[in-house]
Amino acid sequence: MTSDTPGWDAITARLDEFYPDVEPQHFGTIIKYALGGPDPIDGMSFYPREEPVPHWHIVTYGMSDLYERDEDAEETEESGWGFEFTMRVARAAGETEVPYWAANLLQNLARYVFGSGNWFEPFHHLNANGPLRQDHDTLMTAITFAEDPELGTIATPHGRLQFLQVVGLTTDEYDAVRQWHAEGLLALLAERNPLLVTDLDRPSALDDPVIRAAAEAGRERDGSSTGMLMIAGFRWSADEDGTIRLSFKEINAPQVPAGVKDRLPYGRELWLDGDDRTRVKLIPAAAYAVRQPGDGVLELDLPEAAFTALPDLTVPGVHPVPGTDRLVIEVR
């Protein structure tokens, strides 16, 4: 006799390995997403944990093929999107009310994936543009992703499935991720928080001078893994005399020199993504060159003199870029 929920059963079997005697609080949707419901995640289980610190271990059901293989999907070795979300949220000892805000966050992430077709992987990161919990005074304003340190990756009847843990970050921790990389920062966090529990009330880990020094050393050694800056209000134009003009709003311009500094000196390209399909690719090179391959894309080869001596972009005006022929940055 075979089950009609083989994907669901595979997830439950993995959880039973870690929680053989724990009955989770489980919440399911009234109308499943496949039947027209608004929530892509069909269910979530909340496991109360006491060690190594009290927390809720949340696991979703719905990002993978729970019931049958999606016949319309491309043939892959993965079940559904290839992952289920997990999250570990700090709880007071003995607390029984689950963190509904975290459930809403996970559903919103699922809606993004199903709506956009873009999926998440370990070390991806995302700015929440506000506190992770709206009604709570917290420094947590961003998230990154890691393979769940306990559940890992499993094989299911429908393919490979990774348990992908959502990890909350403070604003300055997120800045460190963008300027360095998530893998490095998560390793530093895990030294004192091995299960990467998200605690809305904790201070920034970078308040610790040892961790801050390690993050800064990593940034100087490795550069940044962030290959694209999405900049509202950015555009480029070519004047009649051949001048290339990169134009930024004053509020967004200062992030550009930082992004360039953390990429090009390490031999890495940087994309600037603006409004209306405006995209510029900055490429470290021996000499300045300009190409327009089409579709709104501009490619700029920048010599060392250009990317190591960018002008001060905190000041409005038109700023020539050293080491180039008629490349200017406009701050408006």
- Please tell me the distance from the alpha carbon of residue 285 to that of residue 300, in angstroms, as a whole number: 9
- Please tell me the distance from the alpha carbon of residue 78 to that of residue 156, in angstroms, as a whole number: 9
Average pLDDT over the chain reads: 93
SS3 41: coil
What tens digit of pLDDT does each residue of 70-95 get? 665 556 799 999 999 999 999 998 89
Q: Specify whether the CB–CB gap between 129 and 141 falls below 8 A.
A: yes
Q: Specify whether the CB–CB gap between 91 and 47 falls below 8 A.
A: no
What tens digit of pLDDT does each residue of 191-234 get? 999 999 999 999 999 999 999 999 999 999 999 999 999 898 99
Output 232 or 165, whichever has higher pLDDT: 165
What tens digit of pLDDT does each residue of 20-56 get? 999 999 999 888 887 888 899 999 999 999 999 999 9
For residue 174, how far is the Cα from the chain centroid? 9
pLDDT at 152 over 50: yes
Q: What is the pLDDT of residue 1?
A: 39
Q: Specify whether the CB–CB gap between 123 and 144 falls below 8 A.
A: yes
Q: How many Cβ atoms sit within 10 Å of the Cβ of residue 100?
A: 11
- Please tell me the distance from the alpha carbon of residue 140 to that of residue 127, in angstroms, as a whole number: 10
Q: How is 60-98 classified by DSSP, letter by letter?
A: EESSS-SSS--TTS---SEEEEEEEEEEEEE--TT--S-
- Compute the radius of gyration of the chain from its Cα atoms: 23
Tell me the pTM: 0.84
Q: Say which amino acid occupies 142.
A: A
Q: Specify whether the CB–CB gap between 107 and 188 falls below 8 A.
A: no
Query: Could you tell me the domains of the chain?
Result: 6-222 (no CATH), 228-331 (3.30.1360.230)
Q: How is 17-32 classified by DSSP, letter by letter?
A: HH-TT---EEEE-SS-
